[in-house]
Amino acid sequence: MGADRDRGGHRRPVRVVAYAGCGAVLLAGCASMPDSGDLRGVEASQRPDVQVRVFAMPPRENAQPEEIVQGFLEALTSDDPQFETARKYLTREASKNWRPYRSTTVLADGPVPMAERNVSREATGDYEYALTGAKVAKVDSQFAYEPTKGTYNGKVHLTEQKAADGTKQWRIDALPQGLVMGLSDFQRNYKSVNKYFFASNSEGGAGEQRGAVSDPIYVREQVDPVTQMVRSLLKGPTSWLKPVVRSSFPTGTALKKDVKSLAPDDQNKLTVPLNGKADRVGQSVCTEMAAQILFTLQDLTPTGIEEVELLRSDGSQLCVLPDERADIFFAHGPAKRAEYEYFIDGEKRLVRMSVRDSEPKPEPVPGALGDGDKALRAAAVSRDEDTAAGVSLDGRSLYVGSLATGGSLGDPVLRSKATSEDNGLTTPSWDASDDLWVADRDPKNPRLLLLEKGAGEPMAVTTPGLDGRIEAVRVAADGVRVALIVRKDGRTSLQIGRVERQDGPGGRTAVGIHELRSVAPKLEDVTAMSWAGDSRLVVAGREARGVQQIQYVQVDGSTPVGSAPSAPTGVKEIAASEDERLPLLAHSEDGIVRLSSGSQWQKVVKTGTTPVYPG
């Protein structure tokens, strides 16, 4: 439970002071003092790079019930590692039974406490407060985030407890499990970080680079996040992702019992002592374990972790992995950096332009899809940029051809029976295994299809739980997640599903999309989307009664920290690379436009559609 500090109402005055020369900040009546140095007032603009720390204030003597409730809610948003100050507002029994890490409920404006009982409390010796608010999200015991809606209702009960000096003091003796806090407090307290695992169907062979799969969670940013992340990684993936990934850590692996905290040394090396469950792993498995830690901690420290050393339970070395070796064997994001950006030009042919050019000049791609003999409305390029798929202008035929000079184009690999081009095939998408995905929007037979290696008999992908018609499909570089734009009742939404593969009849693999979930619930009209990182997408759409905007969203439905890019006029399609260094592309009313980091949208050509990166 917690409270937003920027809301009105009966809040205690907020006082902001800082340690001299330390970069720590105290809020809400600081209870912790520095060992040395003086305290001085700090304006928010004085230290833009200051690392904010919030310390709670314990209950004052003879505090009244409302003050106890408010103080407790404030204490829950502090950086107290074990919520020791917050527990001082509870009776001994309530503190013993309270489980703050069971879940965190995020409210739009923080919980509002209201006294419920209208009897003489002085006579009964107890008080009860209702906590209410509009729910935004919930973070579960695995620290996984999920958007939610509805009204939060909780109750806090207080009673008088005899203190050590014999006086009676109000304390909370009954409260909801977990935490509840406002969105602004949550964003200040928690940070989204990716754990990394490996796709279950990608064991990798000698010399083969294995792809890592990101698993975003939220951790308390100022409370030893390195140790939090390592402990969470060792416990395994979150429930939603678990069916399609594997961890190289043996079951039961944990930090050695006497390890309380982990921190890199002055050479950015992190030493991780493990318990006996990992004592007998071989070097190749140990290397994967170390790589998981390196990837997981890459953005969590100011300078990054440059080397990980794993220790056995007896203190001997298990293995060491420097970060440059991890990138050789294990990839997160696209395995190969894109060489070109692609779109359909005014002559309805596939063209490309180099990602290295600040002023790119489009040129037809080599092969049949670039010679203009087949008029195209959409296209997708394989991740190795050797092959492309194109949808005919009428939306009914899908062609696959080589991106090599002289490459020919055979018969369509797929035909739709739709009578309208708007009901035909969507823009296709290539996954990391060079399989081709496309949705057929034929009203009489809407379906999601997969062509293994872009050829052969199309396979119907099962979509249990899908409610609506697929308007767009994009498969992530990790191959285990797929993003869909789904239309229902005139509204389009962005949904993420888990890709599960099983052995099917005739030796073919059966593929299904499971546990679809909405990840941009505020947008009621999603126009376009594209993967824009390991666990991030860029989305064009509008909220109810709003104007079109571009925003980034995480695969768990949360909004990344930082400003979203401005939206060019009338965005119809958008493209991003999972390599976040590359520019955004969009098809807008101004034609094909491009946005590089730190610059404004620039027009590439007036006439063009369907911008795409490989994938």
Predicted confidence at residue 299, as pLDDT, reads 81
Predicted confidence at residue 166, as pLDDT, reads 82
The larger pLDDT score, comparing residue 354 to residue 210, is at 354
Predicted confidence at residue 126, as pLDDT, reads 85
Predicted confidence at residue 47, as pLDDT, reads 33
What are the pLDDT digits (tens) for 381-400?
999 999 999 999 999 999 99
pLDDT interval class at 162 (50, 70, 90) = confident
Task: Tell me how far apart the alpha carbons of residues 202 and 499 are, in angstroms, rounded to a whole number.
Answer: 13
Q: How far is CA 410 from CA 272, 291, 399, 413, 567, in A?
A: 56, 43, 8, 8, 39
What are the pLDDT digits (tens) for 44-97?
333 334 456 777 899 999 999 999 999 999 999 999 989 999 999 999 999 999
- Write down the mean pLDDT value for the chain: 87
- Provide the H-helix boundaries in 137-258: 183-189, 225-235
Can you tell me the mean pLDDT for 537-558? 93
Task: Tell me how far apart the alpha carbons of residues 482 and 534 are, in angstroms, rounded to a whole number.
Answer: 12
> What homologous superfamily does CATH list for 347-612?
TolB, C-terminal domain (2.120.10.30)
Can you tell me the mean pLDDT for 592-614? 92
Predicted confidence at residue 52, as pLDDT, reads 62
Predicted confidence at residue 117, as pLDDT, reads 60
Which parts of 14-54 are beta strand (E)?
17-19, 25-26, 39-41
Highest mean pLDDT among 178-182, 298-302, 322-326, 600-604: 178-182
Asked whether residue 427 carries a pLDDT value surpassing 60, the answer given is yes
Task: Please say whether the dihedral angle defined by the alpha carbons of residues 382, 385, 386 and 392, taken in this order, is positive or negative.
Answer: positive
pLDDT interval class at 12 (50, 70, 90) = very low
Can you tell me the mean pLDDT for 177-202? 92
Strand pairing category for 104-107 and 126-139: antiparallel
Domain with CATH 2.120.10.30 in the chain: 347-612
Q: Is 228 helix (H, G, I), strand (E, B) or coil?
A: helix
Q: What are phi and psi of 420, to 5 degrees?
A: -125, 145
pLDDT interval class at 8 (50, 70, 90) = very low
Predicted confidence at residue 97, as pLDDT, reads 97
The larger pLDDT score, comparing residue 210 to residue 150, is at 150
Predicted confidence at residue 202, as pLDDT, reads 59
Closest CA to 129 of 67, 62, 69, 171: 69
Highest mean pLDDT among 24-28, 123-127, 163-167, 239-243: 239-243
pLDDT interval class at 40 (50, 70, 90) = very low
Task: Tell me how far apart the alpha carbons of residues 73 and 80 are, in angstroms, rounded to a whole number.
Answer: 13
Lowest mean pLDDT among 79-83, 272-276, 457-461, 571-575: 79-83
Can you tell me the mean pLDDT for 206-222? 81
The larger pLDDT score, comparing residue 377 to residue 19, is at 377
Task: Tell me how far apart the alpha carbons of residues 77 and 23 are, in angstroms, rounded to a whole number.
Answer: 19
Predicted confidence at residue 512, as pLDDT, reads 97
Asked if 426 and 471 touch (Cβ cutoff 8 Å), the reply is yes
pLDDT interval class at 439 (50, 70, 90) = very high
Cβ neighbours of residue 70 closer than 8 Å, sequence gap 6 or more: 3, 10, 11, 12, 113
Predicted confidence at residue 330, as pLDDT, reads 75
Predicted confidence at residue 27, as pLDDT, reads 38
What are the pLDDT digits (tens) for 507-522?
778 999 999 999 998 8
Q: How far is CA 428 from CA 293, 379, 496, 537, 615, in A?
A: 34, 7, 17, 17, 9
Predicted confidence at residue 584, as pLDDT, reads 95
Asked if 344 and 378 touch (Cβ cutoff 8 Å), the reply is yes
Can you tell me the mean pLDDT for 591-613? 92
Of all residues in the chain, the percent with pLDDT exceeding 90 is: 72
The larger pLDDT score, comparing residue 6 to residue 228, is at 228
Asked whether residue 430 carries a pLDDT value surpassing 80, the answer given is yes
pLDDT interval class at 22 (50, 70, 90) = very low
Task: Tell me how far apart the alpha carbons of residues 475 and 432 are, in angstroms, rounded to a whole number.
Answer: 8
Asked whether residue 574 carries a pLDDT value surpassing 70, the answer given is yes
Note the pTM of the prediction, 2 decimals.
Answer: 0.87
